[in-house]
Structures are given as C-alpha cells and as structure tokens.
C-alpha cells in the first residue's frame, strides 16, 4: 500500500494503534501483524503517563514505526504524540469515525473500547483514505494559531459589545444616541467616569468639554449639542436595583473590553512580524484585495507544503468553496459544501469580496452575474472558486500574481484589442467560469 499523502511506499509497520480520545483517560486498541488477537487498555491523559506508554511500545518494537489513528486533527493528545519520531499519526475526523461505527454497529452500541476497535478497523482497512499528519513549518503553524485565536478574541469582543449595548438600552440608552456606537475608547472612558445619567448630570460643562476634547483621535459630539441633551434627558428607569446592578455590569464589561483591545493589539503586532518575514508573503500580497488582515490568513490557509493539495480542486473542496453535487436517479442538485473548516472558507470569501473593487475582471464577473439576478453570496463564492485556481497555480510555481499577464493570457483569442470588457462563460463544477476575456 502507498501513502497517498506522501506519495511513497509505507514503511514496514511494527504495530497499528487506535486511540479513542477522552478528557481524562484514553482507550486504546493495538494490533500486531500475525498476532492471534488484539490488545486493549487505557492510558491516563498526562504527559508522564503518555511518555511511559510510548517508551514501552518503542522498547517492545525496537523503535520501528507504529501507525497511530487518533480521532483528532488538533488537540492535546495529538500534540503530545507528535513529538515521538517512531509514531506515524493518522488523524481521523470524528464524523467519519461516527459514521463508520454506525455501519459496523447498526444497533448504536457504543463504548470507549468499542470506539477504539472501530478506529483500528478503519486504520487497517481504509488507511488509504487517511492523510499522515505532516507538521508545517514552525512559523506557519504559529501564524495559523494566531489568526484563528485573534478571530475568537474578536468574537468575544463583539459579544461584550452586544452585552454592553443591551444593558445600556435598559437603564442609560441616551449614550447610544449621543455617541452612535459603543465600540470606542471614548465611550468606554465616558462610561467609566459617568456610568449613569444621574452622575452625568452632576458634571460641570467645563469638565465635560475638557473630557471630550482630551483625545482628538476620537470624534466626540459637539458640547453645544450634547449639553442641552444631557439637561433634558429623562431617566429610562427609576428602579434603583436595575441601575445599581447595571453600573457594576457595565464596569465589568468595560474592563473586559479594554483587556481584549490590548490583546488584539498584541496579536496584530505578532501576526505582522510573522507575515512580513514569511517566504510566501510577497506571493500572497501580490493579489488584489489582499491587505494586512487577509495576507496572514491566506498564508495560514495554504501552508507551505506544496504537495498538500494535488490540484486546485482539492484546495477548493477542502476550503468549502467548491459546491457539492448530488445525483440519484433522476434527481440532480448542487448545494453549498458544509463539511469544511469554516474559518478557511470565510477567508477565501472575504478575499473574493475585497478583490472586486481592485481587479478589473473580478468587477466584470460580479457585475455580469449581478445583472443576471444572482445573489451576492453566490457570486462571491463563484469568484472565490476562480481565485483559488489562480492562487494555486501561482503558489505551486512560486510566482507572484500579475494582473496584466493574466489579462493578456485570456485575451489571446481576440485578434484585435477592445476598449470594453467582454467575457465568455461556461459552467464548471456548478460555477460559471471565464473561457475568454477581452479588454
């Protein structure tokens, strides 16, 4: 058997191991070729216990390679096992393992030892459908973690802003009218000093004016308009319990928002350092619409292993941009691919959206499909599908993107140049694809 992810023959395996991941203990199942039966056991989830167990296997099989199937693509157990050179890791998606278990045990019978046996069956019989875990460069992996963690922190900041907005609507809604958005350092400082309407009314005009003019980077409301509004404001509620609890809640949200804001700045600084020194940065940055935010995300989505994707279609499918086609009898349908890394799909869609105002043919693609009545998100997915094909070719050849060269290549069929954009389309994999481009 040949390992399709490496493109080379498999080693002579000493043993096959499958581990059913759990929080505190992992059930494992081991098979040695020629042995009358499988071995089973449990291992505690601790670095010391894992090290002792792997050391015993290494000594037992004289350091020969061991194939290990783990129901994780990322996680504590996978990272703990990846430091041992004699282990060849085969991550398996939990949904795949679950469906395979249903096929083997239609009754729905389930336990940790049973799950470990099911994983071992899949490893022994369908190993050609799994990819060997190959660690990318340290710089790329750190960038992958950072951009994903930054998005989670941004989501947490959004949740805090939403909670702050909802609580202000309950007891101090005037702030939302005066400042418009609570996502502002000026608003946070304002609420820290005057967390409710009563305390604000006690402030002097000169004090309020000096506060608003302290930081010119913000856009505060004019004191001539704000001061009468404060004098005429009516409290949303007179309930002291609501006001007192809301003040404490708002102060808590403000502290969290300031911590998150500082964390985002640190993440941005580190991401910028890694991105600008990454070998693929000039290539990725050459594409239209790729700025400071999208460049690290595209580098993280691609990685640096050129043999990871055998074709552009594999990258389109992995990212969730390529649609899924279903056919059964007379029924044929095409729909959005949902089984994919959502953050990667979002990255390519956002890039396609930002490329429209910066790229001639992308603008033509969008306008023509919009005129046909297609929805915005469907057009963006189609445009991302096209961009991935171009990106994949440039990525494989280590060649930056050149708009003029691309347009010249697609205008060769036209003997005379034109002053207007004219495109010819055909349907490929459920999307419209340019077959001729004249400008």
Question: Is residue 174 domain-shared with residue 225, that is, in the same domain?
Answer: yes
Give residue 34's pLDDT: 81
Is there a domain that residue 279 lies in? Answer: no
Question: Is residue 323 domain-shared with residue 262, that is, in the same domain?
Answer: no
Is there a domain that residue 297 lies in? Answer: yes
CA distance 123 to 132: 11
pLDDT tens-digit map of 106-118: 888 788 889 999 9
Question: Is residue 290 domain-shared with residue 434, that is, in the same domain?
Answer: yes
**75 vs 252 pLDDT, higher one:** 252
When pLDDT is averaged across residues 261-280 and rounded to a whole number, the result is 97
**Mean confidence (pLDDT) of the chain:** 88
Is there a domain that residue 188 lies in? Answer: yes
Question: Is residue 153 domain-shared with residue 125, that is, in the same domain?
Answer: no
| List of E strands, 46-152 | 66-70, 87-91
Query: Tokens 């000594």 appear where?
Result: 59
DSSP state of 300: H
Q: Which of 227, 247, 273 is the last residue of a domain?
A: 273
Residue 326 pLDDT > 90: no
How many distinct structural domains can be found in the chain? 3
Is there a domain that residue 278 lies in? Answer: no
Question: Is residue 338 domain-shared with residue 417, that is, in the same domain?
Answer: yes
Question: Is residue 307 domain-shared with residue 432, that is, in the same domain?
Answer: yes
**160 vs 76 pLDDT, higher one:** 160
Is there a domain that residue 11 lies in? Answer: yes
Question: Of 14-28, 60-74, 143-157, 323-337, which range is least confident?
Answer: 323-337
CA distance 21 to 81: 12
Question: Is residue 106 domain-shared with residue 11, that is, in the same domain?
Answer: yes
DSSP state of 11: P
When pLDDT is averaged across residues 380-405 and rounded to a whole number, the result is 94
Residue 3 pLDDT > 70: no
Which residues are registered as beta bridge partners of 328? 331
Q: What 3-state class would DSSP assign to 48?
A: helix
When pLDDT is averaged across residues 313-327 and rounded to a whole number, the result is 91
Question: Is residue 317 domain-shared with residue 350, that is, in the same domain?
Answer: yes
pLDDT tens-digit map of 202-213: 999 999 999 988
Percent of the chain with pLDDT over 70: 91
Contact 300, 151 (CB under 8 A): no
Which residues are registered as beta bridge partners of 332? 327
Q: Which of 216, 247, 273 is the last residue of a domain?
A: 273
Give residue 122's pLDDT: 94
Question: Is residue 297 domain-shared with residue 417, that is, in the same domain?
Answer: yes
Is there a domain that residue 280 lies in? Answer: no
Q: What is the CATH number of the domain that holds 63?
A: 3.30.420.10
Give residue 424's pLDDT: 45
Residue 95 pLDDT > 80: yes
Is there a domain that residue 124 lies in? Answer: yes
Contact 370, 379 (CB under 8 A): yes
Question: Is residue 266 domain-shared with residue 187, that is, in the same domain?
Answer: yes
Give residue 218's pLDDT: 66
Q: Which of 92, 113, 135 is the last residue of a domain?
A: 135
Give residue 116's pLDDT: 93
Residue 398 pLDDT > 70: yes
Question: Is residue 95 domain-shared with residue 16, that is, in the same domain?
Answer: yes
Residue 412 pLDDT > 70: no
Contact 150, 171 (CB under 8 A): no
The whole-model pTM stands at 0.83
When pLDDT is averaged across residues 410-422 and rounded to a whole number, the result is 45
pLDDT confidence band for 214 (50 / 70 / 90): confident
Is there a domain that residue 43 lies in? Answer: yes
Question: Is residue 269 domain-shared with residue 297, that is, in the same domain?
Answer: no
Torsion over CA: 141, 146, 151, 152 (sign): positive
CA distance 221 to 378: 40
When pLDDT is averaged across residues 252-279 and rounded to a whole number, the result is 97
**328 vs 349 pLDDT, higher one:** 349
**410 vs 209 pLDDT, higher one:** 209
Structural domain span for residue 18: 2-135
Contact 321, 385 (CB under 8 A): yes
When pLDDT is averaged across residues 277-281 and rounded to a whole number, the result is 96
């Amino acid at each position: 058997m040949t390992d399709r992810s490496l493109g080379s023959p498999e080693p002579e395996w000493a043993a096959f191991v499958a581990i059913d991941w759990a929080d505190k203990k992992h059930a494992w199942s081991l098979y040695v070729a020629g042995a009358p039966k499988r071995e089973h056991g449990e291992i505690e989830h601790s670095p010391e216990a894992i090290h002792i167990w792997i050391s015993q296997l290494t000594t037992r099989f004289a350091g020969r390679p061991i194939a290990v199937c783990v129901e994780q693509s990322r996680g504590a157990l996978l990272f703990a096992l990846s430091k041992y050179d004699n282990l060849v890791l085969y991550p398996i998606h939990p949904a795949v393992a679950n469906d395979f278990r249903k096929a083997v045990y239609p009754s729905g019978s389930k336990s940790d030892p049973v799950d470990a046996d099911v994983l071992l069956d899949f490893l022994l019989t369908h190993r050609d459908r799994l990819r060997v875990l190959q660690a990318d460069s340290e710089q790329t992996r750190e960038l992958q973690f950072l951009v994903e963690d930054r998005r989670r922190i941004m989501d947490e900041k959004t949740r805090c802003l939403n909670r702050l907005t909802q609580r202000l609507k309950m007891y101090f809604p005037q702030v939302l009218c005066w400042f418009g958005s609570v996502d502002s350092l000026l608003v946070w400082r304002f609420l820290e000093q005057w967390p409710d309407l009563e305390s604000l009314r006690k402030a002097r005009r000169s004090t309020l004016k000096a506060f608003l003019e302290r930081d010119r980077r913000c856009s505060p409301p004019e004191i001539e308009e704000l001061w009468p509004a404060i004098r005429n404001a009516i409290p949303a509620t007179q309930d002291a319990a609501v006001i007192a609890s809301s003040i404490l809640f708002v102060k808590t949200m403000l502290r969290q928002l300031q911590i998150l804001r500082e964390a985002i700045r640190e993440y941005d600084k580190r991401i910028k350092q890694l991105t600008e020194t990454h070998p693929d940065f000039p290539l990725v940055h050459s594409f239209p619409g790729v700025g400071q935010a999208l460049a690290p995300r595209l580098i993280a989505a691609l990685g640096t292993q050129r043999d990871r994707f055998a074709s552009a279609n594999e990258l389109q499918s992995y990212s969730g941009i390529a649609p899924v086609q279903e056919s059964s009898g007379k029924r044929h349908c095409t729909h959005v691919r949902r089984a994919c890394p959502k953050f990667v799909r979002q990255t390519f869609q956002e890039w396609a959206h930002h490329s429209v105002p910066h790229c001639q043919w992308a603008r033509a693609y969008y306008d023509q499909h919009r005129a046909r009545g297609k929805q915005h998100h469907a057009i963006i997915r189609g445009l991302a599908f096209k961009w991935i094909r171009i990106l994949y070719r440039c990525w494989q050849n280590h060649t930056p993107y050149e708009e003029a060269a691309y347009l010249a290549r697609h205008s060769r069929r036209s003997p005379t140049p034109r002053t207007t954009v004219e495109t010819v389309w055909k349907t490929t994999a459920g999307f419209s694809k340019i077959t001729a481009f004249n400008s």
